[in-house]
């Protein structure tokens, strides 16, 4: 009789380690809620986010004096329902995160792979260009890029993706160089695998762990940076219910109406915190070197 | 050591030229013709346009323009502001001390709290203190600092009335700037209460700007300490009967500091980015606010020059950290 030992599936092994980290599981749950809110914003929001109720300007949250349960978190200076705006804001943040990570990661991974496989001079040129981009503080560079492209959410996303992709390039290149000298790559090469096959089929899958972790981190950074640009008037433009833009609009009311300032910030903080918790868990689960630290 | 320093310097030079190239390119791709922008609402005749074009050298081949720009930069000539007509170089260095003072105070805040917090967390690994501290650090790390600033203003300036909302010092005091650092200048002025007023104005912005570096330093110190604490020489030190304070403080922390110093150095870029937000909210007359205002005013020479000077400043700090790192860690130097 033959007994076979089956290796547990990769996903199951990952989940086993991920589950051990309580913070990561909480982060993941919050993130799932965030994504659901973003998807079903139209169904969940009690009001239209841009509808102005002129009789209800700056109404405080329902539980405080003067509040009204038809506006659970109160209204903003133009009489718009804060809760509905926050719910719709989740959509913009999720969108920013997905677009920025997709663009920055795919471009960054491609350049990183090319750099890792390129002859020495090519590698040096690519890495010097990345050094140049990284020499600028990222928010400042994004700000100037948006100034060039014109302030809008789309341009903010492009700018953030541009300043984030060097991180993917560096990460991919470092793991590629590490993997390239391994036996399995040499054997694939001897077996006649072409350069593209070596890059994408042989090496890339083994470099993905740190890239996935970076993906989570840059998702949260993208949300923060987009909100910061919105706050500075260089991101989404009013009346878009983007969280950072909402904060900018609320700024002059900070001493009169605490809720218009507090809630958008809490929304940003909770989302970013959840993603970072998740990122920590991902790192622990995917990176065997750090697993027991 | 000299070889190591030279190799670092060698990577600095091409990056520097790349940075000048990028900041040069910006003014050429910005929307709107800079000369039309300068003319403002009134517009200008074709002759005057040609004249100004020649004056600023926009009519010459692009490579010649870059060469002129580069030689100018190397001589400290970054052009002059469209708005104030003052040299960009002078404006930058007049405002730079304000940003530097803020950034230094933020860093002191971050290091003074972050280092001990990380050490204590590592020594008490897994206990309640460690868990609480690391959760707090993650919250700090995830903080949208522009919102954090508004919250602190609501509580400390609005409700408690402890701190002022904007500026570097109360309007009651006036004295000449000697160093550009308000803390030092106010002390030197000898006026009663001037120093305290400067400190009061500095507290909230420093906390806001220092929050993310604080979280990063606490996390980094903890993980570096954990790594060091599991080393054999620590066990030996313990076995020899050294007091825990001596083991943790003298042996472990000294080695754990190496990666922490790198993190502190790398935070400078983050600080300069954060300075834009912090200075805007607190009306702090520094480089960050100056850059943002110039972007809104389409004052291209300022945006261009400021971008370049900030990048060069960050690069110099990083180079210094790299060299320092090689100095304290021979392993790196020998590679």
- Chain B residue with minimum CA distance to A273: B142
Query: Which pLDDT score, from 0 to 100, does residue B332 have?
Result: 62
Gap from B271 CA to chain A (nearest CA, Å): 8
Tokens of B74: 């190397």
Q: Which residue has the tokens 């840059």?
A: A218
At residue B7, the pLDDT reads 82
Please choose, from the candidates A210, A13, A190, A14, the residue with its C-alpha nearest in 3D space to the C-alpha of residue A109: A210
- The CATH fold of domain A33-290: MetI-like fold (1.10.3720)
- Residues on chain B touching A159 (C-beta within 8 angstroms): none
Contacts of A264 in chain B (CB under 8 A): 147
**Chain A residues with CB within 8 Å of chain B CB:** 23, 128-129, 131-132, 135-141, 143-144, 147-148, 150, 220, 224, 227-228, 231-234, 244, 247, 251, 254-255, 258, 261-262, 264-265, 268-269, 272-273, 276-277, 280, 293
Binary contact (A135, B277; C-beta < 8 A):
no
Ranking A35-49, B182-196, B240-254 by mean pLDDT, the lowest is: B240-254
Measured between alpha carbons, how far is residue B296 from residues A28, A153, A226, B242, B255 in Å? 39, 17, 18, 61, 47
The single-letter DSSP state of residue A47 is: S
Instruction: Report pLDDT for A4.
Output: 63
Comparing B121-135, B195-209, B233-247, B311-325, the range with the smallest average pLDDT is B233-247
The Cα B286–Cα B299 span in angstroms is: 16
Minimum Cα–Cα distance from B146: chain A residue: A228
Cα separation, B253 vs B247, whole angstroms: 9
Q: Report the C-alpha gap between B105 and B207 in whole angstroms.
A: 9
Higher pLDDT, A275 or B77: A275
Minimal C-alpha gap between B311 and chain A (Å): 5
Residue A88 in tokens? 């719709």
Ramachandran bin of B32, using left for φ above 0, alpha for ψ from -120 to 50, beta for the remaining angles: left
**Pairwise CA distance, residues B322 & B92, whole Å:** 26
Cα–Cα distance measured from residue A25 to residue A34, given in angstroms and rounded to the nearest whole number: 14
Instruction: Characterise B103 by phi-psi region: left (phi > 0), alpha (psi -120 to 50), beta (else).
Output: alpha
Mutate to test the interface with B, among A21, A89, A127, A137 (most CBs of B within 10 A): A137
Neighbours of B239 (CB within 10 A): 8
Q: Among B31-40, B64-73, B284-293, whose mean pLDDT is lowest?
A: B31-40
Q: Does the beta-carbon distance from B295 to A147 stay under 8 Å? A: yes
Burial of A194 (0-12, 13-18, 19+ CB in 10 A): exposed
For residue B289, give the chain A residue with the closest CA. A232
If phi over 0 gives left and psi between -120 and 50 gives alpha, with beta otherwise, what is residue B43? left
Residue A198's CB: how many other CB atoms inside 10 A?
18
Question: Nearest CA of chain B to the CA of A171: how many Å?
Answer: 17
Q: Which residue has the higher pLDDT, B32 or A100?
A: A100
Sequence-ordered list of residues with C-beta below 8 angstroms from that of B308, at least 6 positions apart, any chain: B19, B20, B23, B73, B78
Mean pLDDT of B262-272: 84
Tell me the pLDDT tens digit for each residue of B193-231: 888 888 889 999 999 999 999 999 999 999 888 888 888
Cα–Cα distances in Å, from A235 out to A156, B193, B194? 5, 41, 39
State pLDDT tens for residues B89-98: 999 999 999 9
- Out of A139, A234, A247, the one facing B273 most closely (by C-beta) is A139
Whole-number pLDDT of residue A78: 87
Cβ A165 vs Cβ A107: under 8 Å: yes
Residue with tokens 């709107």: B32
Supply the DSSP symbol for B124: T
Q: Residue B84 phi/psi, 5° resolution?
A: -95, -10
Other C-beta atoms within 10 Å of A293: how many?
Answer: 11
Residues B308 and B23 sit within 8 Å (Cβ to Cβ):
yes
Q: For chains A and B, what is the number of CB pairs under 8 angstroms?
A: 124
Mutation site for B-interface testing, chosen from A126, A128, A140 by largest number of B Cβ within 10 Å: A140
Contacts of B291 in chain A (CB under 8 A): 140, 143
- Chain B interface test: which of A22, A127, A132, A243 (most B C-beta within 10 Å): A132
Token digits of residue A164? 């984030």
In three state form, how does the secondary structure of A135-185 look? HCCHHHHHHHHHHHHCCCHHHHHHHHHHHHHHHHHHHHHHHHHHHHCCHHH
Q: Count Cα atoms within 13 angstroms, Cβ side, for A231.
A: 29
- Angle at the Cα of B259 from the Cα atoms of B256 and B265, rounded to 5 degrees: 130
Distance CA B28, CA B240 (A): 67
Q: Tell me the nearest-neighbour CA distance from A131 into chain B, angstroms.
A: 7
Are B232 and B158 in contact, with CB atoms under 8 Å apart? no
More confident residue, B240 or B97: B97
Task: Tell me the torsion sign for CA atoms A49, A53, A58, A62.
Answer: negative
Calculated CA dihedral for residues B319, B322, B325, B331, nearest 10 degrees: -150
What is the percentage of chain B residues whose pLDDT exceeds 90?
A: 32
> H helices within A68-119, ranges in order?
82-117
**Cβ within 8 Å, pair B15-A273:** no
Can you give the pTM of this predicted structure?
A: 0.88
| CA proximity to A26, closest of A279, A291, A267, A223 | A279
Give the pLDDT confidence score for residue B280 in this predicted structure. Answer: 93
Residues of chain A with pLDDT under 70: 1-8, 287-293
A248 exposure class (CB count in 10 Å sphere: 0-12, 13-18, 19+): buried
């Amino acid at each position: 009789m033959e007994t076979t030992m089956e290796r547990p599936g990769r996903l199951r092994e990952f989940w086993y380690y991920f589950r051990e980290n309580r913070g990561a599981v909480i982060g993941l749950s919050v993130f799932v809620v965030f994504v659901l809110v973003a998807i079903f914003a139209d169904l969940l929001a009690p009001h239209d986010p841009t509808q102005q109720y002129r009789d209800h300007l700056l109404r405080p949250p329902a539980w405080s004096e003067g509040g009204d349960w038809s506006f659970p978190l109160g209204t903003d200076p133009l009489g718009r329902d804060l809760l509905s705006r926050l719910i719709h804001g989740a959509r913009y943040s999720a969108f920013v995160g997905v677009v920025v990570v997709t663009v920055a990661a795919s471009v960054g991974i491609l350049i990183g792979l090319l750099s890792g496989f390129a002859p020495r001079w090519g590698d040096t040129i690519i890495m010097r260009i990345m050094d140049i981009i990284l020499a600028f503080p990222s928010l400042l560079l994004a700000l100037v890029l948006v100034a060039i492209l014109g302030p809008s959410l789309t341009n903010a996303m492009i700018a953030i993706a541009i300043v984030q992709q060097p991180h993917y390039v560096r990460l991919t290149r470092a793991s590629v160089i590490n993997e390239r000298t391994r036996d399995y790559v040499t054997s694939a090469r001897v077996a006649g695998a072409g350069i593209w096959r070596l890059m994408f089929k042989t090496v890339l899958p083994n470099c993905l762990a740190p890239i996935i972790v970076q993906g989570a981190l840059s998702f949260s950074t993208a949300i923060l940076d987009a909100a910061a640009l919105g706050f500075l008037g260089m991101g989404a433009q009013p009346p878009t219910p983007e969280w950072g833009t909402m904060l900018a609009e609320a700024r002059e009311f900070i001493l009169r109406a605490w809720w218009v300032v507090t809630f958008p910030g809490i929304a940003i903080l909770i989302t970013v915190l959840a993603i970072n918790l998740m990122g920590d868990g991902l790192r622990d689960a995917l990176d065997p070197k750090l697993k027991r630290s | 050591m000299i070889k190591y320093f030279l190799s670092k310097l060698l990577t600095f030079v091409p990056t520097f030229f790349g940075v000048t190239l990028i900041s040069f390119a910006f003014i050429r791709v910005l929307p709107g013709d800079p000369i039309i922008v300068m003319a403002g609402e009134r517009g200008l005749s074709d002759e005057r346009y040609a004249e100004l074009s020649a004056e600023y050298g926009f009519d010459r081949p692009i490579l010649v323009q870059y060469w002129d720009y580069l030689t100018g930069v190397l001589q400290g000539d970054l052009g002059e502001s469209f708005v104030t007509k003052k040299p960009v170089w002078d404006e930058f260095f007049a405002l730079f001390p304000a940003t530097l003072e803020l950034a230094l105070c933020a860093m002191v805040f971050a290091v003074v709290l972050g280092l001990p917090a990380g050490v204590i967390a590592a020594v008490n690994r897994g206990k309640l203190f460690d868990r609480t501290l690391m959760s707090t650090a993650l919250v700090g790390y995830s903080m949208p600092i522009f919102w954090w600033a508004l919250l602190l203003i609501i509580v400390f300036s609005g409700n408690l009335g402890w701190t002022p909302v904007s500026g570097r010092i109360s309007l009651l005091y006036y004295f000449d700037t000697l160093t550009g650092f308000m803390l030092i200048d106010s002390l030197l002025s000898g006026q009663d209460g001037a120093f305290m007023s400067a400190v009061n104005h500095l507290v909230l912005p420093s906390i806001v700007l220092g929050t993310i570096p604080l979280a990063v330093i606490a996390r980094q110190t903890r993980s570096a300490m954990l790594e060091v604490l599991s080393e054999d020489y620590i066990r030996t030190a313990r076995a020899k009967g050294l007091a825990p304070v001596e083991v943790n403080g003298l042996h472990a922390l000294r080695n754990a500091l190496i990666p922490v110093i790198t993190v502190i150095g790398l935070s400078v870029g983050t600080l300069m980015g954060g300075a834009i937000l912090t200075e805007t909210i607190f009306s702090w007359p520094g480089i960050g606010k100056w850059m943002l205002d110039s972007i809104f005013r389409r004052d291209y020479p300022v945006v261009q020059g400021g971008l370049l000077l900030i990048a060069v400043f960050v690069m110099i700090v990083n180079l210094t950290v790299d060299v320092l790192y090689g100095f304290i860690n021979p392993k790196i130097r020998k590679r």
